[in-house]
Homo-oligomer: A and B are copies of this chain.
Amino acid sequence: MSKTSRNTIARQKILELINSKKTAISHSSLQEELEGVCDRVTTYRVLERLVNESLIHRIVNVNGVVNYAPCQTCSHKEQHIHQHIHFSCISCGTIRCITDHPIAITLPENYSATEYQLTIAGTCPECL
C-alpha cells in the first residue's frame, strides 16, 4: 500500500503553474514564479512526487538541464513511458513536447527499454 499524497498549497500552485504553460519549465524558473509560496527544497520534493504520480514528466535537455511538463497523451495508470520527442529551441529557449508526430525507434535484440529521453535542439517555427 502506497502512502496517500496530500493536497498541499505548494503542490496545488506548482501543478497549476506547470499545467498553465505550453512549454516545459525548469525548477529555477518555477521557483521564481512561485514567489515565496514555498522553499526551493519543497519545490524539488513536490516535483518528485508529481513525477511519481505521473501528473508531470521530466525532460532532460541537450545541455543536461532538467525541465518539467504536464502529462497529456499518456495514460496515468500503467507503464507511463514517454516515447515522444522534446524539441528545445536554441533561439527562444522554449522546450516543447512533440506528441503528435510519429517516431520509429527499435533497439537491437535483447535490449529492454524502460525510459526514453529523445530531445532535439534546433530552431522552432516561431524563430525560423
Q: Are B113 and A121 in contact (CB under 8 A)?
A: yes
Contact at B98–A123, with CB atoms within 8 Å?
Answer: no
In the docked arrangement, what's the CA distance between A104 and B65, Å? 25
What is the minimal beta-carbon distance from A120 to any residue of chain B, in angstroms? 5
Q: How many copies does the complex hold?
A: 2
The answer to whether A85 and B107 have CB atoms under 8 Å apart is: yes
Give the number of residues in A that approach B within 8 Å (Cβ atoms).
38
Q: Which chain B positions have C-beta within 8 A of A107?
A: 85, 87, 98, 101, 120, 122
Whether A118 contacts B121 by the Cβ 8 Å rule is: no
Contact A114 B122 (CB under 8 A): yes
A36 within 8 A of B: no
- Kindly identify, within residues 93 to 128 of chain A, every residue whose CB is under 8 Å from any CB belonging to chain B: 98, 100-125, 128
Q: Which residues of A contact B (CB under 8 A)?
A: 60-66, 85, 87, 90, 98, 100-125, 128
